[in-house]
C-alpha cells in the first residue's frame, strides 16, 4: 500500500517507525529532512472552573431599583356595568323567580331625531377631517421617502371613509324625501 501511494523511501521509513512505536501517524511528513521533529506542545487540560470574560459582581440595591423591574403598571379600570340596572334585575329574579325583560324603549321624539341628524352632520364633517388628515400624513411620508410603504394603507382607509360618507348621504336623502312626501301630503289634504 505504501508503494502504491508513491511515498519516498524516507517517508515510508518514518511511517514504519511510528507504527512500530505505536505512536500516532504524523499529519505531515517532510519529504527530504532527516531531522527529528520536536513534539508539538499539548494544550493544557481543561480546567473545572470556567473563567468568565467579564468581572462578576453583586449589584447594589440602588442599581436594582433603578431599572424598570420594580415599577407597577397603572390600574386602568375597564368599562363597568350599570350597578342600578343589575340590582333591579336581581331583585326581579328573587321576587318573581324569573328574569323580567328590559322595558321597551319609548318611541323617539322629534327632538331626538333632530339631534341624531345633527350628529350625522357632525359625523360627515368628522369624516372629511379624517380624510384630510390621512392625505396630509401621506404627503409627509412621501416627503420623507416612505410614501410607497404607506400609500396602500392610507388609500384603503380613505376609500372606507368615502364609502361611509356615501352611506350617510343616502340616509339623509331618503329622510329628506320622506319629509318632503309627508309635508306634500299634508298640504294636499288641507
* Average pLDDT for the chain: 78
The answer to whether residue 88 scores a pLDDT higher than 70 is yes
The contacts of residue 108 (CB under 8 Å, 6+ apart) are 116
* Nearest alpha-carbon partner for 138 in 148, 130, 129, 128: 148
Q: Whole-prediction pTM value?
A: 0.36
Percent of the chain exceeding pLDDT 70 equals 69
pLDDT tens digit string along 126-157?
899 999 999 999 999 899 888 888 899 999 99
The answer to whether residue 36 scores a pLDDT higher than 70 is no
- Distance between CA atoms of residues 129 and 154, nearest Å: 14
The C-alpha angle 113, 119, 122, rounded to 5 degrees, equals 150
pLDDT at 133: 92
The answer to whether residue 160 scores a pLDDT higher than 70 is yes
Per-residue pLDDT band for 60 (boundaries 50, 70, 90) equals confident
Amino acid at each position: 500500500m505504501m508503494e502504491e501511494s508513491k511515498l519516498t523511501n524516507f517517508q515510508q521509513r518514518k511511517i514504519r517507525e511510528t507504527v512500530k512505536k505505536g505512536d500516532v501517524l504524523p499529519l505531515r511528513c517532510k519529504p527530504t529532512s532527516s531531522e527529528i521533529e520536536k513534539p508539538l506542545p499539548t494544550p493544557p487540560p481543561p480546567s473545572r472552573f470556567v473563567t468568565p470574560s467579564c468581572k462578576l459582581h453583586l449589584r447594589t440595591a440602588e442599581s436594582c431599583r433603578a431599572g424598570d423591574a420594580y415599577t407597577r403598571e397603572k390600574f386602568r379600570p375597564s368599562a363597568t356595568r350599570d350597578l342600578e340596572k343589575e340590582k333591579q334585575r336581581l331583585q326581579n329574579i328573587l321576587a318573581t323567580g324569573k328574569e323580567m325583560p328590559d322595558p321597551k324603549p319609548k318611541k323617539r321624539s322629534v327632538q331626538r331625531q333632530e339631534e341624531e341628524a345633527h350628529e350625522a352632520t357632525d359625523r360627515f364633517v368628522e369624516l372629511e377631517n379624517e380624510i384630510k388628515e390621512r392625505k396630509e400624513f401621506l404627503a409627509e411620508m412621501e416627503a420623507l421617502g416612505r410614501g410607497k410603504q404607506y400609500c396602500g394603507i392610507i388609500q384603503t382607509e380613505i376609500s372606507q371613509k368615502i364609502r361611509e360618507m356615501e352611506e350617510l348621504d343616502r340616509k339623509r336623502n331618503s329622510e329628506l324625501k320622506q319629509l318632503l312626501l309627508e309635508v306634500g301630503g299634508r298640504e294636499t289634504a288641507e
